[in-house]
Every structure is written in structure tokens, then in C-alpha cells.
Amino acid sequence: DGAGVYDQGLNLRGLLLGSTFAHQNDNVSFSLAINVNEILKVLFTDHCLKSLPKRIQTDVAKSVCMIDSMGCWGTGCLFQMKNRQFVLTCSHVLSSNNIVCHVKDEELELKLLYKNPIFDSAYDLALLEVSNKSKPNKANFCQLANYQPKIGQPVYSVGFPLFKSFGWSDNFRPTIYRGRVTKHSVGILFTDCPVQAGQSGGPLFDDRGDLLAVMVSNFKSALDDRIYPWHNMCVPVWDLHRVLEEYCETNDLKRLTKLQASNEIVNKWKIRRPKITSRL
């Protein structure tokens, strides 16, 4: 798998994907390859990051951080609200209360405010506040996008996929992917941005550099365990905005329990069919 497919002139025409496949419980033996020309089209279309304005690249990269919790790592986002500085990430990233937050050129000390205890169903979120002992650059904290996204809207996912070393302060190089919103409803947002291990909790930004959603996971088929990284699910900030505002105004940690999803939203995350009630 991955071998080249060449024509008579030894020009590369494709890459071998496999030679045996399962279809309807039968093994089908034939070679399947992907056309190299199609790969090149993707690389040199508008999806290429070289076409992004420098301002956008700077805006979406400055507010990202790498979260390290006893060897388990993921991505987080720095944001500010009501003159307070927070970090939003996924609950499953925090394997313990020993948390190290890496940003460019420094480490931040964080205080855990809320961690969703039911993170495996929906709203896999954790909220942390930057300690007074840390003196971060205020320009690195983004604003929350307080509006409902639209299908087709350009978005930018930022994180540290696969390689933890890219999130260390002395080698801080977050990866930026551009994609679009493919579906949106209350409590869940779908995009076609590629998402890999290490990007959990990563920010999804809009064109203005505002935090639009928190990335949680990609798709995994229950039939063959295949992972589809170009289809992913995120928690939209629009649905969290009021709860976060309430906490900032009252400083009451009990307000953050509203971040737990309702049964209706849980069903969306589990991709369950809606129940149809008949009165006949």
C-alpha cells in the first residue's frame, strides 16, 4: 500500500491504496489506486494555506495553546471575557489535575474551573482560568463569536496533530487547516477541516479570528473502525456564550453545570434518529 503506479514512460500516475477489499462479507481482490493529478489539484487550489492572508494566519495562531496533562495532550484556546482570561479545551484531554499550558515563548499556570464529567456523550468541555501568577500577552486572547454560523462559511482549525513536540514553547508551530461549515444545529457543528489525534479541544476560528467552536472529534465507523478525519464534530460557542457570561458576572461555579448537554443534544452527538411520536 502506498506504492507508486507508473505509465510506460515511468511517469507517476497514481498511488496504490490496496488490493483486497471487503464488500458484503466477501473479499474482493483488485487493485485500487488514487489519481496523482487529483491530489495535485487539491494541493494547488484555494485550500492551500499559501493563499491565506498573513493577518489571518497570525490571528488564528496566536490564541492557541498546547495542553499537557500527565502525558495526555491536546489543544486549547485562549479567550477573554469581562476582563478575565480563560482557556477552553476538551474534558478528555485533562487526564489529571496536573496541567501544563504551553503558549509561544512561555508557559501559563491555569486553574481548573469546570470539567464535564460526562464527556463521552456531548459537550466534551473543560474551562480553565489563567492564574494571577502568570503574566500573558493580552493580545493573544481572542474574542468569542456570538452568532450562529452559516453552512459554507470558511473556518480555520488550529492545533497540534500527531506530534506533541510542535506544541512546546521553544518549538511552537501550530498547524492551521482551512475548511467550511458543512452542517449546523443547536448543540453541534460539523466541518470538513481535517482533525487528527492531538487536536482535541482545538479552536475553530472565523475570518475575523474569533472563536467559533471547539473541536472534539472526527468520525469513526462502527462497521469497520475506519476513521474519517475530514468529517468532524465541534461544540459551537454560540450555545455556550450565555453560560460563560453568567459565570463571569456571578463567579458562581454552579452556573457552569449548564454546560452539560440535554438529552436532545446528546442524541445528535450519537447520531441517533429523532423519535417520531404518533398520536393515532
| Whether 121 and 259 share a structural domain | yes
Rounded-to-integer distance, Cα 196 and Cα 177, Å: 11
| Whether 25 and 66 share a structural domain | no
| Whether 149 and 219 share a structural domain | yes
| Whether 189 and 67 share a structural domain | yes
| Whether 14 and 142 share a structural domain | no
Which residues make Cβ contacts (< 8 Å) with residue 121, sequence separation at least 6?
261, 266, 269, 270
**Predicted TM-score of the model (pTM):** 0.74
* Strands ordered across the beta sheet of 26-35: 4-6, 12-23, 26-35
Structurally, how many domains does the chain consist of?
2
Does residue 179 sit within a domain? yes
Does residue 276 sit within a domain? no
| Whether 118 and 179 share a structural domain | yes
* Local confidence pLDDT in tens for the 280 residues of the chain: 788 899 999 999 999 887 777 667 777 777 888 898 888 877 666 555 555 666 666 667 788 988 888 778 889 999 999 889 999 999 888 877 888 888 877 788 889 999 988 766 678 899 999 888 877 778 888 999 989 899 999 999 998 887 666 666 667 788 888 899 998 888 889 999 888 887 888 899 998 889 999 998 887 777 777 777 778 889 999 999 999 999 999 999 989 888 887 778 877 877 776 666 656 5
Does residue 187 sit within a domain? yes
Rounded-to-integer distance, Cα 126 and Cα 240, Å: 12
Helix (H, G, I), strand (E, B) or coil at 50: helix
DSSP 8-state code for residue 246: H
| Whether 98 and 221 share a structural domain | yes
Does residue 91 sit within a domain? yes
Does residue 185 sit within a domain? yes
- Structural domain span for residue 209: 53-268
| Whether 149 and 78 share a structural domain | yes
* Residue 216: C-alpha distances to residues 37, 194, 204, 206 (Å): 32, 12, 10, 17
| Whether 71 and 160 share a structural domain | yes
| Whether 60 and 195 share a structural domain | yes
User: Domain with 225 in it: what CATH number?
Assistant: 2.40.10.120
- The pLDDT value recorded for residue 120 is 67
- The values of phi and psi at residue 24, to 5°, are 55, 45
| Whether 85 and 27 share a structural domain | no
